[in-house]
């Protein structure tokens, strides 16, 4: 899939939402791999207002009404909490859906595409890469606090917006199928990556085994805790809000922490074309552990979960690597790509990080023990 410019149906879609004033500009926004995100500006005599329009990728999210039901429940629940705690700041601390004119949380365009609108969170930004331990600590604290906010979400189990999303065994079987089918004739070229993936197969079952034996617990988790899914204040650098709520569903806290390690304790971007640039940065890992264990979630993690914080990083990095590899083998049908070898670059750089994480398991365990033991 490649990135698309603002589509021709945009004005009709925009007119379905009761936004004040006149649409004065719209442009693609952000660097997400799945949805199409646009920043739209409206103006009237009172000034300018900005909104985020998103066309939801419904080839990937096949139950959009269910997904939007999750988003509505989660945002309403968090909004009630931040209104109580944060007063006037509350509007920035959670995504706020703008209902369509008919009151629905989304609209469908003539081609069947699904669209939603959020208030633009002002005075904040996202980063694609963590540079300082302070940023890593902040992100981990934010995702930990976010998960704690959802611990008492009423209304029953959330929809699984992508079934088996972090079921690494299923991801592995999908790769095996993609290799066997070799739909676009790329398998020979990536033999080394396939061999690496197959050699690490046993890892796919480790957390699933702990879950099956009741040693770790399912909770409501974010499941996509990439650093660019947390908005940071332009002035203070502190967390404003956790965003990208499409994959919130039952999951494991270790998936959330592991995904943070992958994106926030690494030395370069996930798609760096030079895998040798990619390795674990232990000071950033330490900051993540401090932030996560210091957040309200730290109080609910058991000893088994703590003991697997480092492994979780390795597993999520492996999982992303095999997903990128499977997509490359299938002809790039899932992630947005900017060039033909993009998924292969991503895969190779993820596997470099898996190696680095594997080599650092005991160093990571020592850090977790040290941070857990400190007052």
Asked if 92 is part of the footprint of ligand GN1 (rule: CB under 6 A), the reply reads: no
**Binding partner of 320, given Mg ion, ligand ADP, ligand GN1, none, CB within 5-8 angstroms per partner class:** ligand GN1
Residue 120 binds ligand ADP, judged by CB under 6 A: yes
Chain residue whose CB lies nearest ligand ADP: 32
How many angstroms separate the CA atoms of 58 and 68, rounded? Answer: 12
34 part of the interface to ligand GN1, by CB under 6 A: yes
113 binds, among ligand ADP, Mg ion, ligand GN1, none (CB under 5 to 8 A by kind): none
Least distance between ligand ADP and beta carbon 62 (Å): 15
Nearer to ligand GN1, 320 or 349 (CB): 320
- Minimum Å distance from CB 247 to ligand GN1? 5
- CA distances from residue 332 to 20, 33, 115, 341, 343 in whole angstroms, order as listed: 39, 12, 24, 9, 7
Looking at 102-110, 190-198, 201-209, 244-252, which segment touches Mg ion (CB under 5 A)?
244-252
Cβ contacts of 52 within 8 Å, gap of 6 or more: 29, 37, 38, 39, 40, 117, 118, 119, 120
Other C-beta atoms lying within 10 Å of the C-beta of residue 161: 24
Q: Of 51 and 172, which CB lies nearer to Mg ion in the complex structure? A: 51
Beta-carbon-side half-sphere exposure of residue 175 (alpha carbons within 13 Å): 27
Q: Which is nearer to ligand ADP, 311 or 334 (CB)?
A: 334
Sheet containing 239-242: give its strands across.
Answer: 124-125, 230-233, 239-242
By CB under 5 A, name the one of 10, 14, 19, 32 that touches Mg ion.
Answer: 32
243 binds ligand ADP (CB under 6 A): yes
Cβ 263 to ligand ADP, closest distance in Å? 12
> How many of the other CB atoms lie within 10 Å of CB of 80?
13
Q: How far is the CB of 57 from ligand ADP (least distance, A)?
A: 8
Which of 41, 63, 108, 126: binder of ligand ADP (CB under 6 A)? 126
- Does 253 interact with ligand ADP (rule: CB under 6 A)? no
Minimum Å gap between C-beta 246 and Mg ion is: 8
Instruction: Give all strands (DSSP E) within the chain, no chain letters.
Output: 22-28, 36-44, 47-56, 107-108, 114-119, 124-125, 219-221, 230-233, 239-242, 249-251
List the single partner that 279 binds among ligand GN1, Mg ion, ligand ADP, none, CB under 5 to 8 Å by kind: none
Pairing of strands 219-221, 230-233: unpaired
Which position has the token pair 């992958």?
262
Tell me the closest approach of the beta carbon of residue 30 to ligand ADP, in angstroms: 2
Residue 165: Cβ within 10 Å count: 18
What's 245-262 look like in SS3? Answer: CCCCEEECHHHHHHHHHH
Q: Residue with structure tokens 């697997």?
A: 308
Name the one range near ligand ADP by CB under 6 A: 25-33, 213-221, 294-302, 320-328: 25-33
Query: By the criterion CB under 6 A, which residues form the site for ligand ADP?
Result: 29-30, 32, 34-35, 37, 52, 95, 118, 120-121, 126, 228-229, 243-244, 246
Query: By the criterion CB under 6 A, which residues form the site for ligand GN1?
Result: 32-34, 60, 224, 226, 229, 244, 247, 270, 320
């Amino acid at each position: 899939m490649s990135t698309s410019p603002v589509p021709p149906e945009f004005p009709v879609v925009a007119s379905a939402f009761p936004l004040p004033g006149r649409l004065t500009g719209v442009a693609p926004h952000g660097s997400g791999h799945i949805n199409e995100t646009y920043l739209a500006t409206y103006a009237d005599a009172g000034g300018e207002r900005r909104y985020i329009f998103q066309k939801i990728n419904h080839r990937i999210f096949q139950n959009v009404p269910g997904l939007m039901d999750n988003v509505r429940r989660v945002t309403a629940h968090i909004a009630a909490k931040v209104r109580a705690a944060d007063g006037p700041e509350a509007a920035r601390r959670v995504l706020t859906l703008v209902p369509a004119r008919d009151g629905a949380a989304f609209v469908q365009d003539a081609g069947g595409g699904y669209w939603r609108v959020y208030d633009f969170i002002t005075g904040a930004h996202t980063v694609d890469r963590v540079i300082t331990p302070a940023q890593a600590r902040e992100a981990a604290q934010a995702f930990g606090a976010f998960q704690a906010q959802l611990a008492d979400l009423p209304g029953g189990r959330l929809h699984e917006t992508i079934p088996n999303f972090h079921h690494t065994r299923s991801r592995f079987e999908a790769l095996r199928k993609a290799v066997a089918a070799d739909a676009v004739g790329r398998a020979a070229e990536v033999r080394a990556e396939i061999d690496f993936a197959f050699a690490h197969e046993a890892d796919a079952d480790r957390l699933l085994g702990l879950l099956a034996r009741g040693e770790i617990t399912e909770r409501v988790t974010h499941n996509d805790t990439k650093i660019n899914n947390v908005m940071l204040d332009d002035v203070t650098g502190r967390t404003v809000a956790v965003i990208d709520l499409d994959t919130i569903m039952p999951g494991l806290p270790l998936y959330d922490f592991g995904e943070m390690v992958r994106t926030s304790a690494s030395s370069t971007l996930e798609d760096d074309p030079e895998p040798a640039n990619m390795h674990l940065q232990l000071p950033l890992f330490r900051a993540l552990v401090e932030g996560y264990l210091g957040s309200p979630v730290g109080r609910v993690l058991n000893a088994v979960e703590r003991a697997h914080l480092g492994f979780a990083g390795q597993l999520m990095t492996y999982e992303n690597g095999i997903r990128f590899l499977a997509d490359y083998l299938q002809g790039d049908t899932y992630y947005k790509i900017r060039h033909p070898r993009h998924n292969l670059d991503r895969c190779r750089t993820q596997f470099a990080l898996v190696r680095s994480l594997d080599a650092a398991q005991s160093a990571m365990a020592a850090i977790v023990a040290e941070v857990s033991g400190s007052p």
